[in-house]
Amino acid sequence: MIPRDKYLGKLIQFQDKDVIKVVTGVRRCGKSTLLDLMAEHLVRQGVAPERILFFKMESMEFDDVREDYRALYSLVRKRAEGLTHPYLFFDELQETKGWERAIDGLRVDLDCDIYITGSNAFLLSSELATLLSGRYVEVEMQPLTFSEYLDFRGATIEGLSLSQSDLAVMSDGSVVTLASLFSQYRRYGGFPFLSLEEPDKSSHQAYCKTLFDTVIVRDILEREKRHGRRQITNADLLIRISDFLADNIGNECSVSSIASALRSQNSKTADSTVAAYIEALEQAYLFRHVRRYDIKGKEILKTNGKRYICDVGLRNHRQGYRRSDAGRVLENIVYQQLIYDDCSVWVGHLRAGEVDFVAERNGERVYIQVTEGMTEKATMERELKPLKAVRDAYPKMVVAASGSYPTSIDGIRIVNAVDFLLGR
């Protein structure tokens, strides 16, 4: 297993503390492996393996407890009997009805340390938040960032000279350009299983198809049915809305505009229905909604905003691996990096134009424009204009995928996309 130290570090930070550790994220982003890594960490610390109990709730082994949280509670108590401070790992716990009552009971009645994964935000619904108020911490995972992708591919950039800053040494000793690896990442994305070897289109297609189908059917349609919500029942409509959002990453799309687009295609769909379906897609971690921020008025706006997909490779699979929209794909990747870096992110709104991202962390803010390139004078002026209109003293930056530019233009930093993603 290849460590993902950032996420593992967050679990270790709360180890043996009286909070339930909840790992969330889209399917196959690495949540189960993270629990395995945490278990390995415990063993290295000297914890006896028999004190580490795994409950993989999608296994047929647990069919009898999925509909009865009391049965789950009893099963865990029985397996933990006689163990001193057991470590309880529950994988895909949203499969069990009423699971939060069992978990809260175990936390209260048993001296234990609890770790949970789930592939749907329903796991942390308002009901659960109320029941476990102040007693859980969420670790949000996503597919690999570009730096993590290099780790999974066995690419090393440390130890190379400045003149070799665009190269990487692979595990077999071969030398490749970072640009070629980034091109693969932009096309195939960063789901961990697919990133362990040279990408292949046919394998990527097959993997992403089963992943997408599983999210649509199991994490949305079946989950809605299981919890008695009958609003999300039309698989075809759910897929069409998902594909619409994937096609429009980085574009401002209101619920009413999406509904209007569907109605123009002879789909009689109410705005409220579209809103419910979008919410379901977001709860399955396929998309994130980024709200608009009025830079001049210093307030978060209630309308519109943008949505970005969890992985650009999944988007490319759904959109036929076309080479258009490179700028918006890059924008999606930059957004994922900012989230990985624990930034709060908004879309910047100004009369002079839009700033792609307003990112804030620990009270520090940066304004970011993202572009495929701006070698043309008109393109450069378009990208710089909104940043120049921002009047405060926070840093401003343009992230560009291609082209050669000064490091700074009128106080605005110009950064190559690969350098930005690698923190260079």
Instruction: Note the pLDDT of residue 303.
Output: 80
Q: Where are the domains of the chain?
A: 5-140, 204-421
**Look-up: residue for tokens 């960032």?**
145
- Helix (H) or strand (E) segment spanning residue 148: helix 146-153
248 three-state secondary structure:
coil
Four-residue CA torsion sign, 90, 95, 100, 106: negative
Label residues 79-105 b or e (16+ Cβ within 10 Å = b).
Answer: ebeebeebbbbbbbbbbbeebbebbbb
Extract the runs of DSSP E, i.e. beta strands, from 63-145: 87-91, 113-118, 136-140
Instruction: Note the pLDDT of residue 335.
Output: 98
Long-range CB contact pairs, 64-67, < 8 A, 24+: 65/96, 66/95, 66/96, 66/97, 67/96, 67/97
Tokens of 15: 């180890």
Task: Tell whether pTM > 0.85.
Answer: yes
| CATH among 3.20.10.10, 3.40.250.10, 3.30.70.20, 3.40.50.300 for 5-140 | 3.40.50.300
Identity at 200, one-letter amino acid code: D
Long-range CB contact pairs, 47-52, < 8 A, 24+: 47/87, 50/83, 51/83, 51/84, 51/85, 51/86, 51/87, 52/86, 52/87, 52/89
Helix (H) and strand (E) counts for the chain?
16, 17
Question: 348 with 338: CB under 8 angstroms?
Answer: no
User: How big is the CA angle at 54 (ends 50 and 57), to the nearest 5 degrees?
Assistant: 155
Instruction: Note the pLDDT of residue 361.
Output: 96
Cα separation of the two ends of the chain: 26
Q: How many CA atoms are closer than 13 Å to the CA of 126, on its beta-carbon side?
A: 0
pLDDT per position in the chain (424 positions), as tens?
899 999 999 999 999 999 999 999 999 999 999 999 999 999 999 999 999 999 998 888 998 888 889 999 999 999 999 999 999 999 988 778 888 889 989 999 999 999 999 888 766 665 556 667 668 899 999 999 999 999 999 999 876 666 678 999 999 999 999 999 999 999 999 999 999 999 999 999 999 999 999 999 888 887 766 655 567 889 999 999 999 999 999 999 889 999 998 888 877 788 999 999 999 999 999 999 999 999 998 899 888 899 999 999 999 999 999 887 899 999 999 999 999 999 999 999 998 889 999 999 999 999 999 999 999 999 999 999 999 999 999 999 999 999 999 999 999 999 999 999 999 8
